[in-house]
Structures are given as structure tokens and as C-alpha cells.
Structure 1
């Protein structure tokens, strides 16, 4: 705190009340980061724009964001500029001041991922233009409360309705889009840029106008941390009943609410379900336990084979037979995406091996990198244009 206090006063003295510009995207797409901290002994930056480093965990080896040192001038201004231009993408980063990880004090744009808050910046161009707010018609993002009798809670979900929904009488197809472990009903709109991706793809004529429902996949929660009757609880991944069958059991409550509240097409051909990591796990088991409900299924880095013991084991029993039953109903799309260095790569390869052994038709996308939002944004932007054709 002392370091940050000195930082704020020093910035005012040096720049006349103006903080140093950080980050600054240069004309060659190199990026410069600045921090005024005269009393700091060491300042570093960590983010997904830097070369990754290998980290070993109980889940296996995975790629973590790299770390780079900032250099200090005689006025106490620390600076780092990337060696080369950065490719178009939405990037996340933090400063590390004498071992304490903080957001960039000069960058007001930050987002929360579980219990971590990170600064963000965007390099436009190519696919990253889908993540920008462009001059196109915009949909509406609402945070809606619904009753879940199965969970015994009033719960919240985030709902995207496409541009023109409020003034039309049209009925729309629905994509149910699920987050990963530790996430919540805000993850896909904040970290995943789902609203921007949908707005832009629909405006370009590459995707059908659709409603996207993003429920909270933690069945023990009313809503995201800090916005429930429990007050300002600390966000954590260690929540009860995350992958033990109870969310899958309660999922029909979400569908019932949506179909009673919104103008939607209420048949299999106009329902899709997809999710990342834990949400991919949920999407798999919700779809195979309800083979007449969804014609489109998307598994993004799905955490298959990660179910918890002691829950509703019948949800997870006879998985291969249930997969057979799903494909016997001829779904229009079964889609799998995974990063080459994802710690769940082997699990997904084993699922694909089973599908191949049965000659079941599916689409597969393999990308660089691991278990990261960069990949999940790619998967969403690839999956959505294939829906409801």
C-alpha cells in the first residue's frame, strides 16, 4: 500500500496530475507499459501476450502466462516495451510490484476471473475485430432472476437477446452457453466477449439471430459472488455440487423459464448447448441425458471424465450407451474444440476415439495454446455460425 501511495503522488508531481500512459499500443503493434513507483525495488509484468512458461499442478503440466521485467529511470518511472508487434487479440495482464500482483494503476479497464482481477487491452484486426464494439446493431444483455424448484433457490442467469428483439414478433432459436469451474453467469459476457461476438457475426450475416442464455453453473449459488443474499463472499473454485449431477438435474428449470419468458422456438432443431471446461462437461451430460432436447452440442476444452464422487451417479452412468442414444437421434452438429497443450487434451482425445470407433459424425478444431479464454473466444466464434442452419 505504501508503494502504491508513493506511486500515485509521484505520478501527479511528474505528469501534472496525469498518470503515465499504460498500456500504449504503438504503430507497429508493439505495446509499452509504464508504472511510476520510485520506491519499488522490482517491477514485473505478467500476461498472456508474453511467451508462456510451463507449470506443474496436480492436474498435470499446463502453460502459464510469462513474466518480464520493467526497467526504472532516474525519476522512478518503470517501463517495458514488447520486443515485437503483438498479434490481434484481447489480452490480460498484471503488474507485480515487489512481489505483489496488482492491476495496472494507469489502466481503468479490468475484469475479474474467479478471485483474480486483471487489466485488459485489445489489439484490433483479424478475428479480434469480433471482440470489439463496432458500429453495428447491438443486442441487449440482461441479468434475469428465475425460480429453480429443483435447486431450491431463486437463481440468476445472463441473457443476450439480438438486435431488434424488443420490436419484433419473431420467435428465436436459443443457445445455452455454459462457463467453467470458478466462473459464473457473467463470465461469457465479460471474459468471453460473447455479446460483441454475437453482435458482429449477426451483423455480418454469418450467424442467425439467436437468444443466448448464460446460466450460473454452480448449482449451490444464487448468482455470482457479491450479488447474492450472502453478500460480498470471496470468489472461489471450491464450491459444492459443481460436477456431481445436481446442475444437470436442475437444468430443465432453466429451459422452462426461458421458454415461458422469451419468444423462442421450442423444439430440438432450435436449441443448442455449449460450454467451456466444466461447462463443456455439463453440456455433454445434459445433452446425452436428454437426447431429444438439443440438435447442436459444443464442447470447448471440455472437462470430460472429471465428475465428482458421491453425487447423482446415475447422471454419469452408462456414458457410452447414452452417447449412442444421442447420435441415434441424428444431431445436426456435435462440435469439439481443444488446445494442443490443454491439460484436458488426453481426455478429449479419448472421447474422440470412442466417437471414431462408432463412426459418429462430429466436427473438431485443434488450436495452439492451452486452457485459456483466448481459445474459448475462438471456439465460440467458430461454433455460432454453424447453428440453426
Structure 2
């Protein structure tokens, strides 16, 4: 009798906790988005009570500071639909506007955060979409690590990728330090940038060398990404205190020391690379010249070049002299990539003239497009294949 009572109570409690999940599943009658073989994508929203539904996504033309929005068509039963033309293979983000209010697609559980905005996402298969997807290959391991930063006076968090087989190989590996842009954090490259999928797939195909990838938080006043730091939960913000001042540059040795002490990382500049997008490109430029004997591979993806209103910071003094020291120490690759429509294009053009004037060698990669993630994923895909050969 007692066993029957306990069994009955277990079934009741289990039913209580399972019911919400079962109800959620029963309401998922729509497929949205539905990606066709020809790259056309259909979005659906079941909302019979609303007056208007629109769709906006990053494949749509720019409309001021936002993307244009397309009107969805209301069906007989209150299901709103919209079908795109053929989209090239890529990762895309989108959201709905319901009676003017921004909302996510309730039929799509796949979301991503960019600064303080959350979007739905989908992938159109092919090339490069397949490179950014999880494939049936050996996978690396993603670590979330805390380290001491005496230079910044706090414990800080970083993301570290170790390549497939790291745990059992006993080998040492080269290291890529991969830096995010303004508004990002130690989650940006692994989530938005799909860096772990890119490296898994390129290593599996033999196109990239197995490497450790270190993705630190580039905001020197922050311990970690929002929601992962001590103290109350805070709203993510694009502008963070001190993010383009010299403290992060002069304290970067703390990150290198931690990696060398805690991972099987090869020593010597021939086994180290540093690269980053936008603000991370700015950091990569200045860290690599501040530590001129530390990196043989430097990648600047749509980089900012000079600091704003703090050129007297010790980290930014003697710019030409330190660049020449970096040049004279010799490196394997200094790689610059930018889109023709990027708001930093003129700044990068002026920097290239500066490098030309001092006969500092570099490779330049110019593409269509602006200051956007799909270019930075492409740049990482290209740059990582050039490392440690």
C-alpha cells in the first residue's frame, strides 16, 4: 500500500512538472522559418487577433539605422506568412513587428544576443552556411575560465576553445587570441561568431591547424559578460567604461601568462596569433605592437585604428616607433580585412598609407559589405587557415 501511495504521488508530481512542456509542444503547429532547397525561406506567425505583422532581418536593405521591414500576409485562419526570394548560404537573424511592437518568432527556439538585443536565427545550408553549422566531425571543447588579472585588479572570465583530441593527445598547441568588438564580451565570438564551429570544421578538413583559441572579455572594467559577473544582473550596453583605453592593452600579459600556465600552449611568437573585429581589431593592432616580440600572426578585421581623445595614454605613445620595432622583429602575417561600405573604411585606408610609408608588409582583403558579423565570420575562416603553417 505504501509503495502504491509513493508511486501515485510520483506520477502526480511528474505530471505537474511535465504538463507545461507538453502543452508547449502541442502548440507548435507551425514551421517557422522553413528553409527551402532553393534558399527561399517562409516565416509563419499564428496571430488572428492582430492588425498588422511585419518581418525584418539582416538580409533586408538598410533603412536608416535599422533594416527595412516587409509586410506579412494574413491567411484565412489568422496565420501570417512571408516568403523571401532565394537567399545565399549564410547565418541570418530576424524578428517580427506585431502591431509595431518588436517580438521574437514563437515557433523558433533558436535565438542569439547581440549587445542588448535578442534575435531569432536560421542557417541557409551550403557554403559558407555549412562551415558555421555543427557537422558530424570531431569536436573541440569550450571552457569558461576565470583568471587573475593583477593589471586590472580583479578576477575576470574568458572563453577558451581547445581542439579535438586535446584532452588525450598530450601535445602542445599554438594559440590564437581572438578579440571581440564594442558591445561584445567573452561570449561574442563563440556565439555570434560561430568560432567553435568554424574551427571544428576547418580542423576536421585539414584546412586549419589544431589550435587553442582564447576569447577574453575586452572591457577592462568588467569581470565577465552580463549575467556571469558578481553583483546584480545588469543590462548589456554597447559602450563600456574604459573599453578603448590602454589598461586592457598593457594588462594583456596577464591573459597570456594564464594560458601558458594552465594549458599546453606552445611558447614563442611563432606559435601565437592575435586577431579581432572592430574594437578587437583596435586591441589587436595595439597589443601586437606593445608586445612586439609576442605574436607572429596579426589579424585586423574592420578595425578601429586610433583611440578617441586619449592619445596620451602610455599604451598609445610612440606609434610609429613601436610599429617599426614590430616590423624589425619580423612576423609571418599582418592581415587586414574590411568591407567597402564599412564606416571605418577611410580610417583603415589612412592606416594602410601609414604602413606603406614605413614599408611595413601586410596582406589586404577588401570585400563588399559593411560593419557586420557575416564578414567577420568570413575573415576568421580565411585568417585561421593561414596560421601556424
TM-score norm. by structure 1 comes to 0.91
Instruction: After TM superposition, give the deviation of residue 312 of structure 1 in Å.
Output: 6.5
Q: In the aligned structure 1, how far is the partner of 2:338 from the partner of 2:239?
A: 24
1:309-352 Cα deviation digits (max 9, x unpaired): 35861211221222111111111000001011010011111111
Q: In the aligned structure 1, how far is the partner of 2:49 from the partner of 2:151?
A: 56
Q: Indicate the residue corresponding to 1:120 in structure 2.
A: 121
1:208 and 2:209 equivalent? yes
Q: Indicate the residue corresponding to 1:375 in structure 2.
A: 375
Instruction: After TM superposition, give the deviation of residue 16 of structure 1 in Å.
Output: 6.2
Higher CA-based Rg: 2
1:85-129 Cα deviation digits (max 9, x unpaired): 110001111111122112111100001011000000001112221
Instruction: After TM superposition, give the deviation of residue 289 of structure 1 in Å.
Output: 0.8
Pairs within 5 Å for 1:110-189: 110-189=111-190
Q: In the aligned structure 1, how far is the partner of 2:221 from the partner of 2:150?
A: 13
Q: Indicate the residue corresponding to 2:16 in structure 1.
A: none
Per the alignment, in what secondary structure is the counterpart of residue 166 of structure 1?
helix
Q: Indicate the residue corresponding to 2:71 in structure 1.
A: 69
Q: Indicate the residue corresponding to 1:43 in structure 2.
A: 53
Q: How many residues align?
A: 367
CA RMSD of aligned residues (A): 1.6
CA 275–366 in structure 1, closer or farther in 2 if over 3 Å, else same: same
Per the alignment, in what secondary structure is the counterpart of residue 257 of structure 1?
helix
Q: Indicate the residue corresponding to 1:261 in structure 2.
A: 262
Q: Indicate the residue corresponding to 1:363 in structure 2.
A: 363
Per the alignment, in what secondary structure is the counterpart of residue 129 of structure 1?
coil
Instruction: After TM superposition, give the deviation of residue 18 of structure 1 in Å.
Output: 2.7
Q: Indicate the residue corresponding to 2:330 in structure 1.
A: 330
Q: In the aligned structure 1, how far is the partner of 2:44 from the partner of 2:168?
A: 47
Q: Gaps (5+ residues) in structure 2?
A: 1-22
Q: In the aligned structure 1, how far is the partner of 2:32 from the partner of 2:51?
A: 20
Q: In the aligned structure 2, how far is the partner of 1:255 from the partner of 1:226?
A: 25
Is contact 1:244-1:311 (8 Å) kept? no
CA 182–312 in structure 1, closer or farther in 2 if over 3 Å, else same: farther
Q: In the aligned structure 2, how far is the partner of 1:156 from the partner of 1:166?
A: 21
Q: In the aligned structure 2, how far is the partner of 1:232 from the partner of 1:19?
A: 35
TM-score norm. by structure 2 comes to 0.91
Pairs within 5 Å for 1:52-131: 52-55=62-65, 64-82=66-84, 84-131=85-132
